[in-house]
Structure 1
Amino acid sequence: MTADALPQATFKDPVLVAATLGTGLMAGLYLAFDIGVTPVLARREDERFVAAMRRVNDALDDNAAFGALFLGVFMATGAAARRLARAHRSDAARRARAAAVLYGLSVVVTICVNLPLNRRLRTASVTSAASLAAARKAYESPWRRANAVRTAACLGALTLLGGTARRRTAVRTR
């Protein structure tokens, strides 16, 4: 008898799928800033950096879809963990709870670090070269560090959810 069936992924729980996809989208957004947006802006002069980050922050703050995704992922991940626990899938529930904690960390960092920095940048008086430089200095490094934490937390949560969402089928033998 030989084992010839390949593992297959099955996605039976739409809440778990939504949590996984949403976490992937958030991880991708944060990662795009880590490796694309902020490195490019770091090479710009203070006025262009401040103006660009203000526009980006305003666009995301005014975007209901972003807000729904940002908070919806957290709720979906928690709901998936509860559903898995009720289905007596304790290992999967444990991974989903850990993913909820990691994603929750990204929410806390956003609320406690990134959003206050965004508000300070938005309201900073930038009437001179010195004030632009000061606003940028107070914003750029702390924001990038916090974003790296959000990225790592979301990537960790995504890894956990991806492993939870995938269920290997039994290997068939002939």
Structure 2
Amino acid sequence: MRHLQTGTLLITTLFTGLMAGLFAAFAYSVMPGLGRSSDHTFVEAMQGINKAIINPAFMLPFMGTIPLLGLAVALAWRGQSRPALPWLIAALVLYLMAFMVTSGVNVPLNDKLAQAGDPAHIRHLARWRSDFEGSWVAWNVVRALLHTAAFGCLTWALVLHGTHRTHESAGSGASLRTSPSLDARSASWATAPRMGISSSQATMAAVTAEGPGMSSGEASIIGTGDQSNRGWH
């Protein structure tokens, strides 16, 4: 389950980052560049871009991020990396908002521009451009910011997930390091009666075999127990 959430978070963060980068590139590079072109060039270029972008390389991360985010939230809700849950929920909300901007504003504008037909035969080309450009550019900035914010939330969730796993691994390692000494002492207590020695003597032998890692408190307790038992033999 932990590996599943780690993989889900990595892929989701990557996909969201790709979307944020794509729309940001339109905001600070593509659209300002097209804004300096003629009406014919602008309409022709946007129609071509809107057709070319419908491909698996775009649709997979754009559409696939939503179920992946839902899966990441569900896994965190069930107890895997719970500290990352608020950031995952925030990322999901932000991504859904950006998705609604794209599907509710930018895509209808693209479809409307496509219905205008061949730019060489469009009458009042400047009016078509004016109706499209201002709204599309403004809402593209909005979705770029939303995707970037979602990417930031996912990045921090990934950091928290890694930190949580590190702490869990450290705790498991400490538990494994203490268990052998406990097993050795338990075994010595169980075999002491058959060997004709006291439990304290068996414990002292087990501790001696464990090495110099025994604390002074442990040595004091064992020594006291051994002295008190000598009167019974």
Asked if Structure 1 and Structure 2 have the same fold, meaning a TM-score greater than 0.5 normalized by the shorter chain, the answer is yes
User: AA paired with 1:124?
Assistant: A
CA distance in 2, matches of 1:27, 1:92: 21
Q: Which has the higher contact order (CA 8 A, sep 6+)?
A: 1
Residue matched to 1:100: 92
Count of residues in correspondence between the two structures: 159
Residue matched to 1:20: 13
> What is the root-mean-square deviation of aligned Cα atoms in Å?
1.9
Given that 2:95 and 2:147 are in contact with CA atoms closer than 8 Å, whether structure 1 keeps it comes out as yes
Corresponding residue to 2:73 among 81, 97, 106: 81
CA distance in 2, matches of 1:22, 1:64: 13
- Aligned residue runs from structure 1 range 13-92, under 5 A: 13-61=6-54, 63-87=55-79, 89-92=81-84
The Cα of 1:81 is off from its aligned counterpart by 1.2
Greater helix fraction, Structure 1 or Structure 2: 2
User: AA paired with 1:45?
Assistant: S
Residue matched to 1:117: 109
CA distance in 1, matches of 2:66, 2:44: 31
CA distance in 1, matches of 2:137, 2:66: 22
CA distance in 2, matches of 1:158, 1:69: 13
1:155 maps onto 2:183 in alignment: no
The Cα of 1:95 is off from its aligned counterpart by 0.8
Give me the identity figure in percent.
36
The Cα of 1:93 is off from its aligned counterpart by 1.1
CA distance in 1, matches of 2:85, 2:124: 50
Choose 1 or 2 for highest CA Rg: 2
TM-score (norm 2): 0.64
| 1:124-173 Cα shifts (integer Å, max 9, x gaps) | 15435x52111111111110111111101111101100000013356x9x
Pick which of 71-80 and 105-114 moved more: 71-80
Given that 2:47 and 2:114 are in contact with CA atoms closer than 8 Å, whether structure 1 keeps it comes out as yes
- Structure 1, unmatched stretches of 5+, are 1-10
Pick which of 39-48 and 79-88 moved more: 79-88
User: AA paired with 2:153?
Assistant: L
